[in-house]
């Protein structure tokens, strides 16, 4: 057993961390967030060209621990660029689908030219619900797409949407240009400084070539994409919560009340230790989930859902107490900690809440293991 | 022991309920139901409607225009107000400084300030906290130096809720350096239009502007604006705190929130069960919150009727505020990923910005974020626990001696 990262991964972490320190301090982050588009294209090109990180979203499947390292550092720096959405979620789905349409998109993700976003979730739907309101029906040589999607993170930045839809034969995935006739985008800001959108499709005409994953493979491809995304999101959460803890330790050390540093009060010391322990548990669960990404479905599901449960717990506990221990300062837009808290809050709600995953874990664990062949 | 409401108390509550369903401005209730942000004017209209019935000065003695209610009646009033979904009375003037002016103000001050508060002609802000004096409030430094008929104020107040709406501010200031830091503190009121006062907005994590920093640069305030005697400000502030020790309870608001939560959950798909109302893990959390609420309500009534040890009174602030936060967590759980959405709730059409979203997600997430403050202000939980401990320790020492 070896829990150390490879020298290459250590190098990857160091160069990304250094790059972000130099090019993406909190002020730069806030300026991008406040801008009209919310994008930080300079950073995106830096990640693509200078660091070569978008290549991990190319045709060859990367080492999941490389992605873990990247996502953790993006979390530490609270990066809002659509790396998870395009280079991890969409790239994983496209690799598993293996169609020509998919193969054509992967190199464009890897160069950073394309931002590909999976549009799967619908109004009120909880974890794993198949598309319900979105349908695609045969029409001549192609398809007609109708329906709606809700709260699609990074959709306003997408050059291509991967839209899940119900067909006569089951769920399929289509590559849709967001500017096509019949696509209406409702873009909005999110509490974590990003952009998301609700989408409506009204008789959008699609060619056969836009069918990225047919019903025979779509469900599996979506599942793999979602699991990879959850592992990546968990890794980001480790960076986010670690930074909240670091900031809280530093703040309480500097903050003086009752003639002393408040970090000297044992009640606060113990709370910060509790925060640390939540992050430790989440870290181990995230490693386990990352390790199991290639495992058979049952094992994979248990590890992924288990990680999302503990990561969600860490996001909530560390986020809330980070604010609490900063007192009034924690409640302001001015300090970084509140923004990390909000990202942690969003992470807790994306791709299934802790309770959703706990329920999935319970259901999966209760089904007997298939007998060994 | 008789824990039931008397017939008279039940009739009292029914009368209040009737008022909110008929006489109270229904458009204000509609705005709240619609998740809109209320304006200053909405609050003024709300409070004027209460005052028209003589119900605004809830904690005031009758001779100053209070309704003269028993503690239980006052509790029932607040409960009905919250169950109806009306905005709470803005506490700074009516709940915080009003009773102090009634108790310690001169007749001249009472005549000058109290009617304007009741008529909602004047809003007030509470200037206690300073950048370096939060939990350790008694270390405050803002100075007030006597100069002829005036005091000259210099210093900074922070976290001042509603200072940008306020006409007056009541401040704790240092008039003297004393051995005990609590001793040199005085309470003085300043007209917000006085030269030298500047208000700087602080945006909170829910994106709202409620908090401010208020700078005082050689602000001249007539000595006639000082409440009571110099050096007694700490005492006045604490008498008030004792009288308002359950004002954070908001039992009715919690009950209304949980009922609404159940109603909405029944309309949303679950992941295991058909709806979220039946989703086992969620239903368990809702049930636990309700059970806690029932107990906390009983605790509040015990405090109001004088049947609670000092330790229990301080502990109740923690229980009430944590429960309020727990309910906001249930809402964001229900919202799922829709918790991410930001929309401008000053606009009537704010929901059109995200037409597929759960309609409650935006205001409920804003509450989740903002209500983190409940365990920070009014004595942070950690400070409160130290107070509870001291009370327990004292009580135990009493037992040991006897
Ligand atoms: C939304 C909001 C509205 C407010 N409105 C007003 C207002 O209108 N007027 C006004 O005057 N003030 C107002 N306040 C200020 C509020 O009273 C202070 O925030 C509060 O007293 C805490 O002070 P602080 O923020 O300086 O935190 P600090 O005192 O710096 O505390 C930081 C952390 O350290 C902990 N801590 C401090 N001392 C100890 C100790 N001895 N042992 C263990 N833990 C400790 C605290 O519990 C907290 O978790 C408001 C605050 C908020 C957040």
* A331 contacts in chain B (CB < 8 Å): 204-205, 211, 370, 372-373, 376
A25 token code pair = 């301090």
Interface check for B365 against chain A (CB to CB < 8 A): the answer is yes
Query: Domain boundaries in chain A?
Result: 7-111, 116-213, 218-366
Q: Could you tell me the sign of the dihedral formed by the alpha carbons of A354, A356, A362, A367, in that order?
A: negative
Identify the residue whose tokens are 């103000």. B105
- Which atom of ligand 1 approaches the CA of A258 most closely? 41
| Ligand 1 centroid from CA B137, angstroms | 9
Mean pLDDT of chain A: 96
Phi-psi category of residue B43: left, alpha or beta, with phi > 0 → left and psi -120 to 50 → alpha: alpha
- Encode chain A in three state secondary structure: CCCCCCHHHHHHHHHHHHHHHHHCCHHHHHHHHHCCCCCCHHHHHHHHHHCCHHHHHCCCCCCHHHHHHHHHHHHHCCCCCCHHHHHHHHHHHHHHHCCHHHHHHHHHHHHCCCCEEEECCCCCCCCCCCCCCCEEEEECCEEEEEEEEEEEECHHHCCEEEEEEEECCEEEEEEECCCCCCEEEEEEEECCCCEEEEEEEEEEEECHHHEEECHHHHHHHHHHHHHHHHHHHHHHHHHHHHHHHHHHHHHHHHCEECCEEHHHCHHHHHHHHHHHHHHHHHHHHHHHHHHHHHCCHHHHHHHHHHHHHHHHHHHHHHHHHHHHHHHHHHHECCCHHHHHHHHHHHHHHCCCCHHHHHHHHHHHHHCCCCCCC
pLDDT of the residue at A29:
96
Q: How far apart are CA A313 and CA B143, in angstroms?
A: 45
- The pLDDT score that the predictor gives to residue B201 is 98
pLDDT category at A39 given cuts 50, 70, 90 is very high
Strands (DSSP E) along B306-377, which ranges?
none
Which two three-digit tokens encode residue B307?
């049947």
Residue of B nearest to A355 (CA): B281
Helix (H) or strand (E) segment spanning residue B152: strand B150-158
Of 1.20.140.10, 3.40.50.620, 1.10.3720.10, 3.40.50.1970, the CATH number of A218-366 is: 1.20.140.10
Residues with CB under 6 A from ligand 1: A 255, 257-258, 262, 265, 267-268, 324-325, 327-328, 331; B 126-129, 134-135, 159-161, 211, 373, 376-377, 380, 382-383
CATH number for the domain running over B248-397: 1.20.140.10
Residues from chain B that touch A353, judged by Cβ atoms under 8 A, are 333, 336
Ligand 1 atom closest to residue A328's alpha carbon, by position in its atom list? 25
pLDDT digits (tens, 9 = 90+) for A201-233: 999 999 999 999 999 999 999 999 999 999 999
Mutate to test the pocket of ligand 1, among B134, B172, B381, B388 (most ligand atoms within 8 A of CB): B134
- In angstroms, the separation between the Cα of residue A198 and the nearest Cα of chain B is 6
CB contact under 8 Å between A153 and B340, yes or no, is yes
Provide the CATH number for the domain formed by A7-111 in this structure: 1.10.540.10
Question: In the beta sheet, which residues pair with residue B214?
Answer: B157, B199
The pLDDT of residue A332 is above 90: yes
Instruction: For chain B, list residues with pLDDT below 70.
Output: 1, 243-244, 402
pLDDT at B311: 87
pLDDT 10s digits, A58-85: 999 999 999 999 999 999 999 999 999 9
pLDDT score of B310: 82
Task: Write the pLDDT tens digit of every residue in A261-306.
Answer: 999 999 999 999 999 999 999 999 999 999 999 999 999 999 999 9
A373 pLDDT more than 80: no
Chain A residues within an 8 Å CB radius of B200: none
pLDDT of amino acid B207: 96
Cβ contact B268–A124 (<8 Å): yes
Quote the pLDDT of residue A368: 81
Catalytic residues of B: 244
> Do A232 and A225 touch, CB atoms closer than 8 A?
no
Total-model pTM = 0.97
Asked if A116-213 and A218-366 have one fold, the answer is no
Question: B124-231 has which fold?
Answer: Butyryl-CoA Dehydrogenase, subunit A; domain 2 (2.40.110)
CA A114-A118-A119 angle, to 5 degrees, is 125
Task: State whether ipTM is beyond 0.90.
Answer: yes
Query: Cβ of A328 and B356 within 8 Å?
Result: no
Mean pLDDT throughout A241-266?
98
CATH superfamily of A116-213: Butyryl-CoA Dehydrogenase, subunit A, domain 2 (2.40.110.10)
Q: Residue with structure tokens 């004047």? A: B122
d(CA B324, CA B250): 8
Residues in contact with A307: Cβ distance below 8 Å, sequence separation at least 6, in sequence order = A230, A231, A234, A282, A285, A286, A288, A289
Where do the domains of chain B lie? 7-89, 124-231, 248-397
Residue minimizing CA distance to atom 12 of ligand 1:
B129
């Amino acid at each position: 057993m070896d829990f150390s990262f490879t020298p290459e991964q250590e190098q990857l972490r160091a160069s990304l961390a250094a790059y972000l320190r130099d090019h993406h301090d909190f002020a730069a982050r806030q300026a991008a967030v406040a801008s009209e588009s919310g994008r930080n294209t300079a950073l995106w090109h830096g990640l693509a060209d200078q660091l070569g990180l978008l290549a991990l979203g190319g045709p060859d499947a990367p080492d999941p621990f490389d992605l873990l390292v990247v996502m953790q550092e993006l979390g530490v720096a609270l990066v809002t660029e659509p790396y998870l959405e395009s280079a991890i979620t969409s790239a994983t789905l496209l690799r598993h689908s293996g169609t020509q349409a998919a193969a054509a998109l992967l190199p464009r993700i890897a160069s950073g030219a394309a931002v590909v976003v999976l549009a799967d979730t619908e109004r009120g739907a909880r974890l794993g619900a198949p598309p319900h309101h979105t349908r695609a029906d045969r029409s001549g040589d192609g398809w007609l797409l109708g329906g709606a999607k809700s709260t699609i993170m990074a959709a306003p930045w997408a050059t291509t949407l991967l839209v899940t839809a119900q067909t006569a034969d089951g769920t399929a995935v289509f590559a849709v240009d967001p500017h096509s006739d019949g696509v209406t985008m409702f873009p909005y800001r999110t509490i974590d400084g990003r952009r998301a959108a609700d989408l409506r499709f009204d008789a959008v005409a699609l060619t056969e070539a836009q069918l990225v994953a047919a019903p025979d493979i779509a469900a599996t491809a979506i599942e793999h994409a979602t699991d990879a995304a959850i592992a990546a999101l968990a890794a980001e959460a480790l960076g986010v919560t670690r930074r909240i803890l670091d900031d809280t330790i530093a703040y309480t050390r500097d903050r003086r009340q009752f003639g002393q540093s408040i970090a000297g009060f044992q009640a606060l010391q113990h709370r910060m230790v509790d925060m640390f322990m939540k992050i430790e548990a989440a870290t181990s669960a995230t490693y386990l989930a990352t390790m199991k990404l290639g495992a058979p479905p049952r094992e994979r599901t248990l590890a992924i859902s288990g990680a999302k449960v503990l990561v969600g717990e860490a996001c909530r506990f560390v986020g809330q107490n980070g604010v609490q221990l900063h007192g009034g300062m924690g409640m302001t837009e001015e300090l970084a900690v509140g923004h990390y808290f909000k990202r942690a809050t969003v992470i807790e709600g994306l791709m299934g809440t802790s309770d959703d995953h706990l329920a999935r874990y319970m259901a999966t664990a209760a089904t007997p293991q298939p007998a060994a062949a | 022991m008789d824990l039931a409401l008397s017939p008279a108390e039940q009739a009292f509550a029914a009368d209040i309920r009737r008022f909110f369903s008929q006489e109270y401005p229904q458009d204000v209730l509609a705005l709240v139901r619609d998740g809109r942000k209320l304006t200053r004017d909405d609050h003024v209209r709300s409070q004027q409607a209460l005052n028209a019935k003589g119900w605004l000065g809830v904690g005031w003695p009758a001779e100053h225009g209070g309704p003269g209610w028993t503690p239980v009646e006052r509790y029932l009033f607040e409960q009905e107000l919250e169950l109806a979904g009306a905005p709470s009375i803005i506490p700074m003037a009516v709940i915080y400084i009003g009773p102090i002016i009634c108790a310690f103000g001169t007749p001249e001050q009472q005549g000058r300030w109290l009617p304007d508060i009741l008529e909602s002609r004047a809003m007030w802000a509470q200037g206690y906290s300073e950048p370096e004096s939060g939990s350790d409030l008694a270390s405050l430094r803002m100075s007030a130096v006597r100069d002829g008929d005036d005091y000259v104020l210099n210093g900074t107040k922070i976290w001042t809720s509603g200072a940008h709406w306020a006409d007056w501010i009541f401040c704790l200031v240092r008039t003297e350096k004393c051995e005990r830091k609590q001793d040199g503190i005085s309470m003085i009121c300043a007209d917000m239009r006085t030269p030298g006062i500047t208000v700087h907005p602080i945006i909170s994590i829910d994106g709202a502007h409620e908090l401010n920093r208020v700078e005082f640069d050689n602000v001249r305030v007539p000595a006639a604006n000082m409440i009571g005697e110099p050096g007694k400000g700490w005492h006045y502030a604490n008498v008030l705190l004792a009288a308002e020790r359950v004002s954070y309870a908001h039992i009715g608001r919690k009950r209304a929130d949980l009922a609404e939560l159940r109603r909405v959950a029944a309309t949303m798909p679950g992941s295991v069960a058909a709806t979220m109302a039946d989703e086992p893990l969620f239903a368990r959390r809702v049930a636990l919150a309700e059970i806690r609420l029932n107990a906390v309500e009983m605790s509040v009534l015990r405090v109001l009727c004088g049947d609670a040890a000092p330790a229990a009174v301080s502990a109740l602030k923690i229980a009430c505020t944590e429960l309020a936060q727990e309910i906001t967590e249930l809402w964001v759980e229900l919202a799922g990923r829709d918790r991410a959405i930001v929309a401008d709730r000053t606009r009537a059409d704010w929901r059109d910005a995200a037409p597929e979203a759960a309609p409650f997600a935006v205001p409920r997430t804003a509450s989740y974020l903002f209500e983190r403050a409940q365990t920070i202000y009014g004595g942070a939980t950690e400070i409160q626990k130290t107070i509870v401990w001291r009370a327990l320790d004292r009580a135990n020492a009493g037992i040991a001696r006897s």
